[in-house]
Structure 1
């Protein structure tokens, strides 16, 4: 018969049982370590994913818009009279009276004011006396030269003496002509004591005061009157170079003035300077508008609206906040359907404050980042906010 193992004398488990318990404990320990390691690896992976997702910024986007009215070019204009003349005194004197005031309609040649010029009157009287003296001397020299020529024919005088008398006649004639010219000059100055309107128009300023001293030729003096022809008005506009090729003589524009809200005045482009101003980078153009009711006033400010038509690059507008300004000029950050960014240069045709008009670089409907960060670069990845379109500008909003 096989021998039965005897129990431990102390009554504890045998060696085989202890081995089994030790192996089981080791296996449990390994399982615990493996579970802890797997949990840590999973947490690390989740942390990486969270960090990667947090590294992709969420942005709001806008879309360039065109449509009706987007092709309008609105620029400030300066309204001027068709003709305007500042009337200065041409002679010294005192204002005797004035016959026209501001707002009066005047005709060409109508007297505006008269001056008293006593000095000119006395100078004219003296000049007339000098002319009479010179004329008398001329007549005497003429008769003397005639007699000496007759004596020369009879060999009663020498040729030298006859030539001297002829020369004296020529000198006296020249003095007489000079005196006559002085008389005519002073008569012209005397005629300048009557100030007249150069053309039909309206008196837009008057500085003449009765009894006031008028000094001709003073650079600091102001005009006594200003007469403006306002039956037709000229409007001067500085057009940015980017638009200058689209404006042609004969095209129409609409004028808006702050004192006539809701009213529009028709104007026609008549001519262009044909040169770009080096300081402003703009081309000066002139428009003309009829003014039958005198609603347009010289010196007024007007908003001039040109209809350039839609469907071109200049008809796209977007918020100013979408423009990123850097060393390479204005740029925008375009987001594709995969959330990838492309930094693209654009050309700003007109800055309207809250919005800008883009003449090149973007297409209608593209998604542009609103308020892009300065550090954004081509190839960066972003997430687009899921917001609704707002006013056709902000939003765009379908995330990839």
Structure 2
């Protein structure tokens, strides 16, 4: 028992001696090799300048295509349709004969007017010749009395007036008879033909239907209403693009040629017209179009990267850097384009703001910054 206890004490003493020796060795010159961590250098914040530009964007508006010219063809006189020379879908040229009408009373009136004109011309020719003979004879003293000469002159003058009246009557009758031939007022396409030969037609509401409807298709008008807020951005002769559902993915172009120069009170918009060439007649009157209208602000606006704007429940701001310190500037957001956002506030072009806003940065906090590469 005493032997075991002595053995245990000798082992414990050896262990303690070994530990003391190890600690002593650690306390010598080896302490010079202990590595301590250096403080981490703060990374600088990226900054960008505030830029000024005129914001241009595209305003999408609905519009409707219409013929450049269109008209309903009604008869000018009471008559019957004799022949039709055009039908629906036919292209026509200006002055082309579309229909012939018949009205016997107009033909008779023209013949009567022609006969009266010829009779008055013959009478005037005779009286004028008689007057000239008397005038030559009157050169011989006492051959012709002055009264007879005056009577002959008055007769010739009266007959000349009858000729003028007869000619006017004939021209009026000829014009009325000319209404029996209906011609196209302009080049276009017949889009409606409502009556057939034998139908009675006439002015004054005797028939409610036009004989033809003609529309010009090779040139169209695109009408649309521009909201009052964008009226100042619309300029004559600007090019405008638009699309129609009939040809998805295809863009057509036109030129702004007419402005109403008046805002309609009921819609608070201005009517504009865009001329659209349509040489192949692919577009049709009545089609709805989606117009991409470029609008530009009248004055320059300020833009910053979208990431620069910090939005919280209390405010919206950007972090401007002034003399190495943060300056939180309240702004209002506008339009976005290409990663840039329009801002309104106490900023000016050339101010430097953080490229990436941070809610943890406080006002007047010193910051290390560097200009970000674009």
Residue of 86, 106, 115 corresponding to 1:120: 106
Segments of structure 2 that go 5 or more residues without pairing to the other structure are: 1-55, 302-310, 317-330, 336-374
Task: Pick the aligned partner of 1:192 from 152, 171, 179.
Answer: 179
Which of 77, 98, 112 is the matching residue for 2:63?
Answer: 77
| Counterpart contact for 1:254–1:305, Cα < 8 Å | yes
**What secondary structure, in the 3-state scheme, does the structure 1 residue paired with 2:235 have?**
coil
Compared CA separation, residues 279 and 145, structure 1 to 2 (3 A): farther
Corresponding residue for 2:85? 99
Q: 1:239: which partner in 2?
A: 226
Matched, 1:363 2:349: no
1:164–1:276 distance in 2 versus 1, CA, 3 Å: farther
Q: What residue number does 2:163 align with?
A: 176
Match of 1:308 in 2: 295
Structure 1 249/337 Cα, relative in aligned 2: closer, same or farther at 3 Å?
Answer: same
Q: 2:198 aligns with which of 211, 219, 222?
A: 211
1:262 Cα shift?
A: 4.3
Distance change (3 Å), C-alpha of 1:83 and 1:119: same
* CA 1:307–1:117: 2 relative to 1, 3 Å: same
CA drift of 1:258 comes to 4.1
CA distance in 1, matches of 2:262, 2:183: 38
1:234-273 CA distance string (max 9 Å, x none): 1122212221111122333232334444443222222323
Pairwise mapping of residues 253-332 of structure 1 onto structure 2 (< 5 A)?
253-308=240-295
Structure with greater strand share of residues: 2
Matched-pair contact (CA < 8 Å) for 2:127–2:156: yes
RMSD: 3.5
Describe the SS at the equivalent of 1:170: helix
Instruction: Give the TM-score of the pair, scaled to structure 1.
Output: 0.56
User: Is the alpha carbon distance of 1:143 and 1:200 closer, same or farther for their aligned partners in structure 2, counting shifts above 3 Å?
Assistant: same
Q: Could you tell me whether the CA contact under 8 Å between 2:93 and 2:186 is conserved in 1?
A: yes
Taking the aligned partners of 1:107 and 1:276, their CA distance within structure 2 comes to 38
Evaluate the alpha carbon distance shift between residue 144 and residue 221 of structure 1 in structure 2; reply closer, same or farther with a 3 A threshold. farther
Residue 149 (structure 1) aligned with residue 164 (structure 2): no
Gaps of 5+ in 1: 1-69, 314-335, 342-360, 366-400
* Shift in alpha-carbon separation, 1:121–1:256, aligned structure 2, 3 A: same
Aligned residues: 260
Kindly indicate whether the alpha-carbon contact (under 8 Å) linking 2:97 and 2:182 is maintained by their aligned counterparts in 1.
Answer: yes
TM-score, structure 2 as length reference: 0.60
In 2, the alpha carbon distance for the partners of 1:209 and 1:338 equals: 74
The runs of at least 4 consecutive aligned structure 1 residues that moved more than 6 Å come to 309-313
